[in-house]
Amino acid sequence: MLSNSYDLGIFEQTIRSYAEGRLPVAELRGPDFPVLGEHFSPVLAVLAPIYMVWPSPDVLLIVQASLIAVSVIPLTRWAYRVLGSAAAAVVGVSYGLSWGIASAVGFDFHEVAFAVPLLACALTALANDRPRGAVLWALPLVLVKEDLGLAVAVIGVIVACRGQRRIGVSAAAFGLVATLTQMLVFMPAVASTGSYYHFSWMDGSEDGAGDVVYRYTLGLITPQTKVSTLILVLAPTLFLALRSPLLWVMLPTLLWRFVSNLVTHWGTFGHYSLVLMPIAFAAFIDALSRRRWIDGSVRRYVMGSAAASLLLVPHFPFWQMVQTETWRDDPRVAVARSLMKRIPDDAAVQASSQLVPQLTARTKVSLFGYHVSRPDPEWIMVDTWVPHHRRWPLDAVREKAALDYAWAHGYETMIDREGFVLLRRSPA
């Protein structure tokens, strides 16, 4: 019960919709909220058959782990061919333990996990003079997320610059048109707001044009968090990745993140750097393969990469695996699950964020106290002992006020045990 409503619960509701033969909606984002109006990720529909057999958030987490694990294979095989077995093993382990992967896995599930093996395969093909293969691997990225068409466009430009102009220009045009169509036509038509929601991240301040100029110049490297993130992206490659043209593929992702006014986009938290990891390591292998014929420094670079990757591990979520408290069962979990059994299937529920993923498979659950949640649910379940740093969207004071409001407006307490409060709306 350390997962969250945002985003594991949202993605499970999306996949559950596909499994039920409906266009995807996420109750957690609002009543009947159309998911394709927020992010263009129809690739999630491929999980529907698995979810039909096993309706659980575990499906999402296992699939994500598998997709990331698969992405290690093409990069390591490529390194084996050009650098030898020892270097390939080190590069593969360094990539697998990289902080961008750790941060993504540590923050539940996200659709960009599908992009990781596609990017690894596309960049491997591109570096090994297989332009058609590179383009074919890259094209499905437009089904993963709306901004990834720009990565396809950059891959197409690199292919064109290497002599395959027809294939490269076609791929670049396809990627650019796909992104523009998704953001400017399809998603506004689906979204309840009638526009692409995430353009709000790019809104300027009252300074108008001056703010826009700042964002796309000095704003790309300020505040310091952005520079720190960029350094951490390149550090496991000892900055050798800068010598490979493959690194250009991460430019669109870095650009929209650093132009954004959302602080979480700038740093190392969550899934935002996941797609950068295969690009950085592909560029690293590409640069090492070129350097191999210049001098004998490949071994030093590989060992330096391993050292940098290992030094970063304690600062990111993989370090939890060697902490004893990670493997201890909290007895409150059993209490929570026994209480949730009281809630019938398909009931409308509001729940605390950490409880939501326990209920998404069988109820219509939204987030307790959140302004977009469906009002007047049949059931409310709240964990009042959540630590301060994990509380969202309500702090302890506002949570108590929301509970008092529920008690005063027709809800009665069914159970109050170990900090869990289960309420039910009284019959009219």
pLDDT (tens digit, 0 to 9) for every residue of the chain, 428 residues total? 889 999 999 999 999 999 999 999 999 999 999 999 999 999 999 999 999 999 999 999 999 999 999 999 999 999 999 999 999 999 999 999 999 999 999 999 999 999 999 999 999 999 999 999 999 999 999 999 999 999 999 999 999 999 999 999 999 999 999 999 999 999 999 998 888 888 887 765 545 555 778 888 888 898 999 999 999 999 999 999 999 999 999 999 999 999 998 999 999 999 999 999 999 999 999 999 987 656 668 889 999 999 999 999 999 999 999 999 889 888 999 999 999 999 999 999 999 999 999 999 999 999 999 999 999 999 999 999 999 888 999 999 999 999 999 999 999 999 999 999 999 998 86
Which one, of 50, 80, 53, lies nearest residue 63 by Cα? 50
Please tell me the predicted confidence (pLDDT) of residue 206: 46
Q: C-alpha distances in angstroms, 95 versus 98, 190, 254, 310? A: 5, 38, 19, 11
Distance CA 34, CA 162 (A): 41
Please tell me the predicted confidence (pLDDT) of residue 27: 94
Please tell me the predicted confidence (pLDDT) of residue 427: 80
Task: Tell me the pairing of strands 379-383 and 348-351.
Answer: parallel
Alpha-helical (H) ranges within 367-414 are 396-408
Residue 197 has φ and ψ, to the nearest 5°, of -55, -40
Contact 358, 340 (CB under 8 A): yes
End-to-end CA distance of the chain: 34
Please tell me the predicted confidence (pLDDT) of residue 290: 84
Please tell me the predicted confidence (pLDDT) of residue 49: 97
Distance CA 139, CA 153 (A): 9
pTM (2 d.p.): 0.94
Q: C-alpha distances in angstroms, 227 versus 230, 235, 249, 311, 314? A: 5, 12, 18, 19, 21
- Tokens in use for 410? 């027709």
- Contacts of the segment 360-363: beta carbons below 8 A, 24+ positions apart: 360/9, 360/12, 360/13, 360/16, 360/57, 361/12, 361/16, 361/55, 361/56, 361/57, 362/55
- Residue 346's region, left for phi above 0, alpha for psi from -120 to 50, else beta, is left
Return the residue matching tokens 């059994």.
Answer: 341
Please tell me the predicted confidence (pLDDT) of residue 51: 97
Beta bridge partners of 420: 383, 417
**Edge-to-edge strands, sheet with 364-367:** 364-367, 348-351, 379-383, 420-425, 411-417
Distance CA 293, CA 281 (A): 19
